[in-house]
Amino acid sequence: MTVLVTGAAGFIGMHVSMALLDAGEHVVGIDNLSAYYDVQLKQARLDELRKYEAFSFLKLDLSEGESIVPALAEIPNITKVVHLAAQAGVRYSLEHPFDYTQTNVTGFLAILEYCRQLDKLEHLVFASSSSVYGGNTELPYSVDQSVDKPVSLYAATKKANELMAHSYAHLYGIPLTGLRFFTVYGPWGRPDMAYWTFTEKMLQGEPLPIFNRGEMKRDFTYIDDIANGVLAVLAAPPVNNSEAAPYRIYNIGNHRSEPLLNLVSTLEASLKVKANLKMMPMQSGDVKETFADIDPIRRDVGYEPATSLQEGIPKFVEWYKSYKKG
C-alpha cells in the first residue's frame, strides 16, 4: 500500500517522506512548487526523494479545489495520507490574505473530499500550527485550552482546518489527527525562518532584526524529532466509536521554551561569527512565547523529542554551508 504526502517538496514534507521511505513505505508526493520561497530549494529536496525507487511525484495545486479531486483519484492504493501542503508564514498572511484561504482552506477541503471517497483509508494526519494559540498566556500550551482568538489570518486558517477535520470525522468516520507544529528547524529548512535568515545575515555581516527587543521565546523543534513523531502518529489512528468522532489534536514540539537570544548565541558558536543585533518592536500577528505541552502525544504514541537547540543548530549550519557550496 502507499502513503500520500502533500507538500512533499516542503521542509517537513521532504523529511516525513524520507522517513516513510526509510521505513519501507511507498510514497506518492504532491506539491504545487509555489514561488513563496526559492523553488530551486524545493526541486533540490525532490531530487533527494527521487533517489528512492519507492517515491513518485505529481505536481498538483490543491487550491484548485473540487477540480483537483479527479486527479487525486487517479493515484492507486492509497491507505494513509499526510497533509502538509499549506501557505505558511504569519507575516506573509498580512499582505497576501487570499493565498491563505485558497491554499489552506480550499486546499484542505479538496483533501478531505478525496479522503472521503477512498475505500481503504486508514488515517489522515494533517498539519495544524502552534499559531492557533494566538495570544494565550497560560503556558505550556495545552490542547485543552481555547484557541478561539487567533492573532493572524494564518492561525485562523489552521483553526479552520481543525474544525473542518472534526466535521468530516464525525460525518464520514474518517480517522483524522491534527498536529500543532512548534517552530520546526533543521537541514533543508525554510529560508523565511529566523534561524536561516539569521545565518545568512551573520555570514554577510548584516544586523539581525530582533523583535520585541529580544523578549521572545520559542519551542524550537528539530526536524528529525518531528518526522519521527508524524510517523508514530500515522501508525496509530484514533478509534471510531459511538461516543466520539475518530479525531484527535496533538501538540508536537520540544517541550522546551528557549529565549530567542539563545538561538543567536548558538548560531554565533556554530558560525564563529559575532551577531550585530538591531532591537525592534513587536510585529503584528506575532506572539511573545510558545511552549508545547506534549504529554498527550507522549502518552499515546511514545513521542519523545531528543534533540536540543544546541545540538540541532550545528547540524543545520553544517548542511547550510554544504548546500550553499553547491
| Catalytic residue set | 154
* Lookup: cell for 305: 523529542
- DSSP sequence for 44-59: HHHHHHTTSTTEEEEE
Candidates 246, 254, 252; CA nearest to 232 is 252
Q: Which helix (H) or strand (E) holds 164?
A: helix 153-172
Extract the C-alpha cell encoding 23: 521505513
Give 113's contacts (C-beta < 8 A, 6+ positions apart): 66, 69
> Of 107, 23, 126, nearest to 62 (Cα)?
107
The residue whose grid cell reads 482568538 is 149
Can you tell me the distance from the alpha carbon of 153 to that of 98, in angstroms, rounded to the nearest whole number? 10
| β-pair partners for 209 | 278
Rounded Cα distance, 305 and 321, in Å: 25
Taking CA atoms, 38 is separated from 42, 119, 285, in Å, by 7, 37, 24
Residue 190, classed as helix, strand or coil, is coil
Residue type, 75: I
| Under 8 Å between Cβ of 143 and 180 | yes
Q: If we measure between CA atoms, which residue out of 50, 208, 34, 169 comes closest to residue 104?
A: 34
For the beta carbon of residue 273, count every other beta carbon within 10 angstroms: 15
**C-alpha triplet 313, 319, 325: angle, nearest 5°:** 135
CA dist., res. 238 & res. 223, Å (int):
24
Phi then psi dihedrals of residue 26, to 5 deg: -90, 135
